[in-house]
Structure 1
Amino acid sequence: MSDTERRSHFIDLSPFRESPAFTRMWIGSTLAGLGGQLTIVAIMLQMYHLTGSTFAVAMIAVAGLVPMVVAGIYGGMLADAFDRRAVALIAATITFGSTALLAGLTWAQLETVWWLYALSVVNSSANSIVMATRQAIVPRLLPRRLLPAASALGGITVGIMVMAGPALAGVLVALTGYAWTYTLDVVLMLSLFLGLWTLPKLRPEGETVRPGIESLRDGWRFLRRASNIRLQFILDIIAMTFGQPLALFPAIGAVLLGGGPITTGVLTASVAVGAFGSSLFSGRVGAVRHQGLGIERAILVYGASIVALGLVLGAAALGWFAPAGVDAQTPNLVLIVLACLVLAVSGASDNVSSIFRNTMVQAAVPDAIRGRLQGVFIVVVAGGPRLGALYAGTLATLTALWFPPLLGGFVIVGLVASLVRLSPRFRAYDAENPVP
């Protein structure tokens, strides 16, 4: 195989070579995202430690859903009206402050269930504005031909965040406690400011609309006409609502697979291993023209992998490979490995879908409205898992830990196949002629 062919299979690093500003922002976002994952997992573990309730863990995500939706949409309006660099910096400052307060309260042993809920809401809301604004900035730093490569590099970021972050969080919580884990996030988050501060001023191109009702209406009118963008939002909501078992992981590690916090971290990291691997070998993704069809196939694989996870957890509930039972010191290693494998497949397929979806939004949406659509995109990406936490936590409380992923995977496959079949325009979407 020639060098050219070999390179074509691996991730395209051209965005780094062509845009130093993009490179700095990517490094800052990656390090800050790694720290953010430490806090997310530590809060889940701390909530479970304080309450012993899977439902309470799920409610961390649910409690922040409405504030995050409002913040994402309003943040998108801000990004379409003002300097996007300034908007991202202000939101990042709020995220930094809420994490620092969480660390301080934990060091002082003043943390409570309600403090965990409140600071999680503030953190996720501000971070949704940072993410929406940052994604709206990317097409201004790179040519359209490199947007799929930039999205794949975003998959590397997610892979590093979720692969290293949860595993590290589980080890840190087990060995040092919650306060040190939150403190490390505070330190890593400083890199985010470097990546944003060094950007040039980036005001939206074209006619701007001040944040408010008219700006919201303008965005809604565009979305009503943009059937391809609208359908990809719907497909992702379906996948994340019925196929996101993250809120179950603490209980799975405690009572079903054993291993405690370390198992929780390893399961979460497995998703990221798949995302990282699919991005690492994403060199030919940029050549895919029918990105709508690519989204459909990726989500169908995702749904099938979630069904497989439900079957693995069902086997654990029946005592397979651990007839004497499990606990924090006695994990069911065979089924943990199988669970990690199917979760890696889910992470890979979700990442491929995300590359195509993000590229569609960045390429097909005009710059003057891109902030608002990126705000909706972030709400969908971050809000879907929160609905998934409610679905998984509630159903697991009423039935069993293995049932939500088993049912949810079948729901994903059925709904996605049906909706895309009814939308031939989405299947025919051509990246060479992006039509929203």
Structure 2
Amino acid sequence: MGGILVDLAPIRRDRDYRLLWAGQVVSGIGNNVTRIALPYQVYVLTHSAVAIGVLTAVQLVPILAFSLGGGAIADAVDRRRLLLITAVGLALTSLVLVALSLVPSPPLAAIYAVAFVAASLGAVDQPARSSAVPRLVPAERLPAAIALNQLNFQTAAVIGPAIGGIVIAVAGLPAAYGLDVLSFGAAVASLVGIAPLPPLGEVARPGIAAVREGLRFAMDRRVILSTFAIDLDAMIFGMPTSLFPILALDTFHAGAEGVGLLAAAPAAGAFLGALLSGWVSRVRRTGRAVAVAVAMWGLAITGFGLATFSLPLAVVLLGLAGAADVLSAVFRGTIVQLETPDALRGRVTALHLLVVTSGPRLGDLEAAGVASVVGAQASVVSGGLLCIAGILVVVRRFPELLAHVSRAVPERAGAPSAAASP
């Protein structure tokens, strides 16, 4: 099992990565507690689905608007210091939410404002956090580190909401938000123990010119561009999340429980995929691995669309899709990080995060739009098949993807390579 279970070498051998990962385990759970507490509070106050939709928009807009700028900042300053600032800022936003939850009827605008600020800080935090990882582990352990990050993310996504629901039911919203405040304490403590991560080589001043430089690099580096294209292909054509209620209620006749099963299946599959990812560090043809993983996703989604006669089979196929998705994420992340010099990693990582964030939402729109014309089942099946066809288009347009072999690109002049920490 040692070669199958997730590779723990980055945790065992790279001290600073171990600290970053451990802090993120705790703060990630706290983040997911707040992720369910906020819409719960908004709905209790308003009993309005529209109000929850506004909350979602308020949280999405800063990610789309500020991520590229956040990446430019991450390339220009000490990333450890930047992560400390964002962690403290996020803790303060959760502290404000504690105060607002103690008020009998807090103004909705205040909750939206806090959510906007928190999302804006997250737009800076995420590129800095992701681009720090290649500085903390050597290149040969980077796939394992990215797989561990995926396991961390999936674990927090499962455990956090469960804890949040219990805490809200037993102790109320102030306790839930307070738990998030405490979780950021773990993040801050872990970051304090990490060595500084100053910029390597020439520093680009944050601004429009720096953002353009990052965009230009990503567009010119065709193998990076190919990872964006193949992910958008999978998410736009093969993301049927918005159709789960229709399929659960009208096709499987499984009620709300069926909606929950369909929604949970990809996450469960992604968790298992990350848990059983011990072999990913041995893969050198990472571009081919991306194409295979996305093909598995497309086939699983197509099978899900055809499995209308069996809810258990549909759930299993969605689980397989989730496992394929997390493997695609590991290999795509490895390509992006290894192909990007450290001086540009924040900006390119921010662009990568924009693709990952926008793709599923575009997929929801595509699936719903097609379903309104031909029905939910046909929408899912056609989307899965189009995803597979899209892979052929991407690899033909970008032959660099299938040819890619994992390697670390040279850093800019004078930049030291990543090395294992004691």
Report the TM-score when normalising by structure 1: 0.80
Instruction: Indicate if the aligned counterparts of 1:68 and 1:383 stay in contact, CA closer than 8 A.
Output: no
1:80 to 58, 75, 79: 75
Q: State how far apart, in whole Å, the 2-side matches of 1:311 and 1:177 are.
A: 43
The offset of 1:339, in angstroms, is 4.9
The 5-angstrom pairing of residues 16-27 of structure 1 reads: 16-27=11-22
Q: Identify the range of structure 1 (88-97 vs 145-154) with the bigger mean alpha-carbon deviation.
A: 88-97
Measured in 2, the distance between the counterparts of 1:126 and 1:238 equals 29
What is the distance in 2 between the residues matched to 1:103 and 1:398? 45
Matched, 1:149 2:147: no
Q: Mark the CA change 1:232 to 1:162 in structure 2 (over 3 Å): closer, same or farther.
A: same
SS in 1 for 2:277: coil
Which of 344, 351, 375 is 2:350 aligned to? 375
Q: CA deviation at 1:39?
A: 2.5
1:258 aligns with 2:225: no
Partner of 1:233: 228
Q: Which one of 273, 281, 285 corresponds to residue 286 of structure 1? A: 281
Higher mean displacement: 387-396 or 277-286: 387-396
Between the aligned partners of 2:283 and 2:78, the Cα distance in structure 1 is 33
State whether residues 338 and 408 of structure 2, in contact with CA within 8 Å, keep that contact through their aligned partners in structure 1.
no
Give, in angstroms, the shift of residue 346 of structure 1: 2.2
**Change over 3 Å in CA distance of 1:82–1:369 after alignment to 2:** same
1:277 corresponding residue in structure 2: 272
2: CA distance between counterparts of 1:189 and 1:250? Answer: 35
Which of 204, 208, 211 does residue 206 from structure 2 map onto? 211
Q: Match of 1:282, SS?
A: coil
1:100 aligns with 2:75: no
The one-letter code matched in structure 2 to 1:300 is A
The 1:188/1:206 distance shift into structure 2, 3 A limit, reads same
Deviation at 1:433, TM superposition (A): 6.7
Structure 1 position 369, deviation (Å): 1.0
> Does structure 1 conserve the Cα–Cα contact (< 8 Å) formed by 2:139 and 2:407?
no
Deviates more, 1:351-360 or 1:387-396: 387-396
Map of 1:140 onto structure 2 = 135
The 10-residue stretch of structure 1 (178-187 or 168-177) with the greater mean CA deviation from structure 2 = 168-177
CA contact (8 A) 2:341 2:410 kept: no
* Structure 1 alignment gaps of length 5 or more: 1-5, 321-333
- 8 Å CA contact 1:275, 1:350 repeated in 2: yes
Shift of 1:342: 3.0
Q: Distance in 1 between matches of 2:102 and 2:244?
A: 26
The alignment partner of 2:6 has SS state of coil
Cα separation, 2, equivalents of 1:135 and 1:275: 19
Contact 1:59 1:389 in 2 (8 A): no
CA gap 1:293/1:402 in 2 versus in 1, 3 angstroms: same
Looking at structure 1, the residues matched to 370 and 208 of structure 2 have their Cα atoms a distance apart, in angstroms, of: 37
**Does 2:162 match 1:193?**
no
Give the % identical residues: 33
Moved more, 64-73 or 203-212: 64-73
Q: Report the Cα distance in structure 1 between the residues aligned to 2:318 and 2:30, rounded to whole angstroms.
A: 22
Q: Aligned partners of 1:205 and 1:299: how far apart in 2?
A: 34
**C-alpha distance in 2 between matches for 1:231 and 1:86:** 32
Distance 1:62 1:242 in 2: 23
1:64 and 1:43 mapped to 2: Cα distance?
Answer: 11
Residues 1:347 and 2:342 are matched in the alignment = no
2: distance between equivalents of 1:194 and 1:288? 34
Q: CA deviation at 1:179?
A: 5.0
CA deviations on 1:105-135 (whole Å, 9 max, x unpaired) are: 3342435665555444333332232121111
Query: Which amino acid counterpart does residue 372 of structure 1 have in structure 2?
Result: R
TM-superposition CA deviations, 1:58-100 (whole Å, max 9, x none)? 6644444342123211111111111111111222233223333
Superposed CA offset, 1:263-312 (max 9, x none): 76665543332222222222221111111111112122223333444556
Shift of 1:251: 8.5
Specify the alignment match of 2:420 in structure 1: none
Judge conservation of contact 1:162–1:268 (CA < 8 Å) in 2: no
CA distance in 2, matches of 1:52, 1:272: 27
Query: For residues 264 and 173 of structure 1, what CA distance do their matches in structure 2 show?
Result: 22
Residues 348 and 130 (structure 1 numbering): CA distance in 2 closer, same or farther, change over 3 Å? same
Deviations 1:378-424 (A, max 9, x none): 22223333444555677778997767655543443332332223322
Cα deviation for residue 10 of structure 1 reads 2.4
Amino acid at match of 2:86: A
2:190 maps to a residue whose letter is G
- Which letter maps to 1:8? G
Deviation at residue 221 of structure 1 after TM alignment: 2.3
| Residues 90 and 406 (structure 1), Cα distance of their counterparts in 2 relative to 1, 3 Å cut | farther
**Residues 117 and 257 of structure 1: CA distance in aligned 2, closer, same or farther (over 3 Å):** farther
| SS of corresponding position for 1:221 | helix
Q: Which residue of 2 aligns with 1:3?
A: none
Tell me the distance in 2 between the aligned counterparts of 1:218 and 1:377. 15
Q: TM-score, normalised by structure 2?
A: 0.83
Q: Is the 8 A contact 1:58 1:390 kept in 2?
A: no
Task: Sort the Cα spacing of 1:435 and 1:415 in 2 relative to 1 into closer, same or farther, 3 A.
Answer: farther
379, 387, 391: which one aligns with 1:412: 387
Q: Which residue in the other structure is 1:8 paired with?
A: 3
Q: Following superposition of structure 1 onto structure 2, how do residues 28-107 of structure 1 map, counting pairs within 5 Å?
A: 28-44=23-39, 50-51=46-47, 53=49, 60-107=55-102
- CA deviations over 1:320-374 (Å, ceiling 9, x no partner): 8xxxxxxxxxxxxx73x55542332222111101111111122111111111111
Post-superposition offset of 1:150: 0.5
Structure 1 counterpart of 2:419: none
1:427 aligns with 2:402: yes
For the structure 1 residues 408 and 228, does the alpha-carbon distance in structure 2 shift closer, same or farther, using more than 3 Å as the test?
same
* 1:166 positional shift: 3.5
The unaligned stretches of length 5 or more in structure 2 are 412-422
Residues 432, 425 of structure 1: alpha-carbon distance in 2 compared, 3 angstrom cutoff: same
Q: CA deviation at 1:232?
A: 0.7
Give the deviation of 1:187 after TM superposition. 2.8
| SS of match in other structure, 1:8 | coil
Mean CA deviation greater in 246-255 or 15-24: 246-255
Cα distance in 2 between the residues matched to 1:410 and 1:115 = 45
